[in-house]
Amino acid sequence: MKQPIRRMENLPLAIYTLWMREVVRFLRQKNRIIGALGTPLVFWLLIGSGVGKSFHSSNEPNYLLYFFPGMLLLILLFTAIFSTISIIEDRKEGFLQGVLCAPISRSSIVFSKLLGGTSLGLLQALLVYFLSLPLGIPFSLERLLGVVVTLFLLGMAMTAVGYILAWPLDSVQGYHALMNLFLMPLWLLSGALFPAEGAYGWIKTLIFLNPLYYGLEMLRFWLSPHSTLALHTLAMYFVITFIFFVLVTAISIWVTDKIKVKNP
């Protein structure tokens, strides 16, 4: 009976310690900051300026403003990728094996990794958000709170998806292959680049089946001055996004408990 009690007592400290390690490592690796923040900004400026005048939508006439929520989502995605790829690096360095042998619960490993990736992505996304306010993005305390809550749920969910993919792997190259096969299409089919109503039938179906679509629509509601999303629809989208977050977090805990990591 003593071991489970000790694990529970060490849970907050373990989560905080591992979370701080993620933050410190991120700040020491400047290339991760450039990659996670710079790439989405380049996408936004190049694609937004290129599509520009050829874009037509009943809800948002300005493509740069339409693409802005998708760009913030891309910041969260890249941060989630860089955060969870460190699982493979930790395994090769022997750090992960040491953590698994420590008297802490496996869930503390999961939550520290998810909180680490989410907090870093959230800070970067909010920085871009505040710097972009002069472009005509509406601002109020209510909208800011909605943006923070939505970004937090999306960040936790995407980091959990990356965690699920990275945990059983022992190859960084294999992780990159899965990222290109799964994570990037998940973003592309979220409605970030084009509205779902203008897509072909089978593409529209895939977009509506993508849980990121509903989180992105919530984010667009808080960021767009032309959003026509009804409040009851917003509440439904929040429930869908929250269920997605809970589901992938539960799967992350399950794979950590059930799937043995490969020794380097």
Phi and psi torsions of 55, nearest 5°: -90, 135
Identify the top-confidence range among 73-87, 163-177, 212-226: 212-226
pTM: 0.85
Q: What is the mean pLDDT of residues 180-199?
A: 82
Domain boundaries, the chain: 2-258
User: Is residue 3 scored above 80 in pLDDT?
Assistant: no
Greatest mean pLDDT among 88-97, 102-111, 209-218, 253-262: 209-218
Q: Which of 121, 120, 99 is nearest to 108 (CA)?
A: 99
Top-confidence residue, 89 or 43: 89
Report the range of poorest mean pLDDT among 6-10, 36-40, 148-152, 169-173.
6-10
Per residue in 20-29, pLDDT (tens digit) is 887 777 777 7
Range 130-140 average pLDDT: 84
CA distances from 150 to 2, 27, 155, 164, 253 (A): 39, 24, 8, 21, 22
pLDDT at position 150, please? 95
Q: What is the pLDDT of residue 41?
A: 73
Two tokens, residue 207 = 């977009």
For the segment 190-213, the average pLDDT, to the nearest whole number, is 84
Q: How confident is the model at residue 2 (pLDDT cuts 50, 70, 90)?
A: very low
- Tokens representing 264 are 């380097």
Q: Picking from 4-8, 91-95, 138-142, 160-164, which range would have the lowest pLDDT averaged per residue?
A: 4-8
- CB-CB contact of 192 with 69 (8 Å): yes
Cα 15 from chain centroid?
Answer: 19
CA 240/CA 245 separation, integer angstroms: 9
- pLDDT tens-digit series, residues 67-103: 888 889 988 888 888 888 888 887 877 777 777 777 7
Mean pLDDT of all residues in 198-218: 88
Q: Where would I find the H helices in 132-210?
A: 141-166, 172-178, 184-188, 201-209
Element (H, E) at 214: helix 211-223
Place of tokens 């790829």: 85
